[in-house]
Amino acid sequence: MASTFYITTPIYYVNARPHLGHAYSTIVADTMRRFHALKGEETWFLTGTDEHGDKIVKAAAAAGKTPKEFVDSISGQFQALWPLLGVKNDQFIRTTDPDHVERVQHFLQRVYDNGDIYFGEHSGHYCTGCERFYTEKELENGLCPQHQTKPEFIQEKNYFFRMSKYLPWLADHIRSNPDFIRPERYRNEALAMIESGALEDLCISRPKSRLEWGIELPFDKDYVCYVWFDALLNYVSALGWPDGENYAKFWPGEHLVAKDILKPHGVFWPTMLKSAGLPLYRHLNVHGYWLVKDTKMSKSLGNVVEPARMAERYGLDAFRYFLLRDMQFGSDASFSEEALITRFNADLANDLGNLFSRVLSMNAKYFAGRIPEAGKLEDDDRVLVELAENALANYDQLFDNIRFAQALDSLWELVRALNKYVDSQAPWTLFKQGNMERLGTVIRIMLEAMRKVALCLWPVMPGTSATLMEQLGQPLPASERFGVAPDHNPVEEAGKWALLETGAQIASASNLFPRLDIPEEMKEEKNKAKQGKAPQKAAPAPAEAPAGLAEFADFQKLELKVGTVLECTRVPKADKLLCFRIDLGESEPRQILSGIAEYFEPETLVGKQVCVVANLAPRKIRGLVSSGMILTAESEGKLTLLTPAAGMAPGSKIS
């Protein structure tokens, strides 16, 4: 029986139109589904809309519509957007679907019959934005921690889920299964919530006297279900729980959410599943926010990014690639069109596009567009073959562990190596010398490697992948171009170097990614921002410092930043050195060497945050360039990494 993979997005709340955050979650889920399908797994991809609760009633009233009219309209906008972004979901669920309503009531009755739902009087601080009650301990200076608004104090009778009964069990489960919630920072955050003592039993009803727009409780007709209890159940109701064929085949699955809904997915949902006797999900994958000019997107600020517009302007696949490549999964990332253009030109035009353009045109010139036969491999060829096979293995492992940016960077190591291989082997010189056997070997190796790159790109850039495969004489059927995975597993094929047909006719040119110019208005806006900064006043001359003390001006020269460790390996033949690749919020990870190998195992440092001196002049150590310094503290022979107390975005300045 083939292994299965089930991936879900959050079901999106329909109080507003879809934006970049929704697009990112859904594109990532689509990419994960395609990645697992490419590996031969049977996949199921669910997305949908969450349509009950207070906020819907208020948004509908403001729009002059009934709640049903309003949710139909907004849900339709989500469903219409996904095909425009190359998303191929298998199912779209709405929490107003009759079969979902029926299964929620079935689940509620089961938990009630198990003795885990009780009726009681309750008073608490109710935030309409969150649609939930907060305890005094959870408030921040009397305000909702999410919206920073003062909640309404409400006292009423309601039904409660005995969540507190399962919190010790959940904490043990999270500790025993380190990748249950990932990345690690969110696992730690969920544990901190549970261990804080702030969480109590969960209020799971609203009286109809206050809210009618919801799913009626099966054991009390005067109450409707709390929106989060209802919404979370979509992940199993969509599969036909309890006796549906898809439920038996695909559950448990994987969830993909943004960090603002960690609590309901990381705490509420597992305890609900435990109470009802259902298996827990495999992984909760949590990502950060897309920011614009370091500010969260907001309609009031006018900085909301329209995903369909970006895909239309820059190309669907280029937009998808940028989102996966420029956000380190789990951290926040900053979106700008200038950054998208820069990434487009560097990776797609200069690297990938240039590679296909020059190799296909050389093959057309030297071999009339037919695939040449490879002769005996030389040392340079073997080095490239080994690099390619390592790059594909790393791509597979990193992608499987939701490290999408690093996976693509690993694939681009191969793309860049192929461009360097062209330069070092100089096919034009081999042609002038009449060395056609060697020329054929060089061209054939490049074409075979390019095919591997094209297949690996299918999850992220399906249209581009199909076009590149077509240019290499292996067109994908229409069903495979955007939906069903190609009948090729690039990882399984990594060690095979004769997958193209010798003598087959292939394209003589490729021009998929012509360079883009940064529009003048973007340059002007950037210059205005620079000019708008107030000029700094000249500092008075400092008093002479005592010997051995640094001037404040000396300290100001240092650029200290928070970084996230992406990779850590030992340096060969150097007992004390570790080689780090660290995300400092820059376009590329930073390589830094540190002499701390005797204190730490490299694999234990991946994912940790460190403090880095980011503006040290690069220096070579054991033939490797180190561009920065990791800060540590030492006491009584023990070494500790200096880290921020809470997770921070890579590149955050330390001052």
Q: Could you list the active site residues?
A: 19, 22, 127, 130, 144, 147, 296, 299
Helix (H) or strand (E) holding 370: none
In whole angstroms, give the CA distance from residue 532 to residue 527: 8
In whole angstroms, give the CA distance from residue 310 to residue 293: 17
In whole angstroms, give the CA distance from residue 383 to residue 389: 10
In whole angstroms, give the CA distance from residue 545 to residue 10: 58
Asked, as a colleague might, if the bond just before 372 is cis with ω within 30 of 0, I would say no
Positive/negative CA dihedral, 593, 594, 600, 604: negative
**543: how many CB neighbours lie within 10 A of its CB?**
7
Q: State the virtual CA torsion across 152, 209, 207, 198 in degrees, nearest 10.
A: 0
Question: Amino acid letter at 270?
Answer: P
Distance from the first to the final alpha carbon of the chain: 56
Residue with tokens 């990791």: 630
Q: Which residues pair with 624 in a beta bridge?
A: 621
Q: What angle do CA 295, 297, 303 make, to 5 degrees?
A: 95
In whole angstroms, give the CA distance from residue 25 to residue 324: 10
Could you tell me if 82 and 38 are in contact, meaning their C-beta atoms sit under 8 angstroms apart? no
In whole angstroms, give the CA distance from residue 619 to residue 564: 21
CA 484 to chain centre: 22
Question: Amino acid letter at 547?
Answer: A
Helix (H) or strand (E) holding 373: none
Long-range contacts at 112-115 (CB < 8 A, ≥ 24 apart): 112/218, 112/219, 114/275, 114/276, 114/277, 115/162
